Amino acid sequence: MTDGAFHALRVRDVMEKRPPTLPPDAPICTVARKLRRSGHVWIISPEQGRSVCGVITEKDLFDLLSPLPEKTYTTATIRPLRLAYIEVAKASEFMVRTVVSCSPDNTLDEALSIMEERRVRNIAVMEGDRLKGEISLRGVIEQYIATSCVKQDSDR
């Protein structure tokens, strides 16, 4: 497969169809366990037909666990969202609500452009407001190896 043909693949053909998900009321320890295995988790609303509410990455959990100090200004004290200062019990309390997504009909080139522009490693694949899957940097690399490198290796 040529690199041009690789970039022209449709997202639906290369996406992970079973991305890691949790409901908004998932306890923080459940989120941590899921992150240990996958590095990120999509927060979905089961009562709204798999509608994506947010995403949590390892970095988000790290920020929550990090003991950054309070900042005191002349007008107020700012307490960052950290477990050292604030009680956080469930996923919806610290998830990132802005979800980067694409359509299953997008090309891989379009999905990679979105990932690069938004500086993310994973994007939700959405049909309407329903989560259908995900495209991850790791998955794209695996797909490239499977489609392009195998052909190059056999030509040697």
How do the pLDDT tens digits run along the chain, 156 residues long?
566 788 899 999 999 999 999 999 999 999 999 999 999 999 999 777 779 999 999 988 888 887 665 566 666 655 555 555 456 778 998 899 999 999 999 999 999 999 999 999 999 999 988 999 999 999 999 988 888 786 665 665
- The DSSP call for residue 27 is B
Contact 114, 100 (CB under 8 A): yes
| Annotated domain spans of the chain | 3-155
φ and ψ at 121, to 5 degrees? -100, -15
**pLDDT score for 11:** 96
**pLDDT score for 85:** 47
**pLDDT score for 104:** 97
For CA atoms 51, 20, 104, 124, the dihedral sign is positive
End-to-end distance of the chain based on CA atoms, in angstroms?
15
**The domain made up of 3-155 is a member of CATH 2.30.30.280:** no
Q: Which of 151, 125, 122 is nearest to 139 (CA)?
A: 122
**pLDDT score for 5:** 85
The model carries a pTM of 0.80
**pLDDT score for 156:** 57
Helix (H) or strand (E) holding 57: strand 51-57
Query: Which residue carries 């497969």 as its tokens?
Result: 1
Residues 6+ apart with CB under 8 A from 38: 20
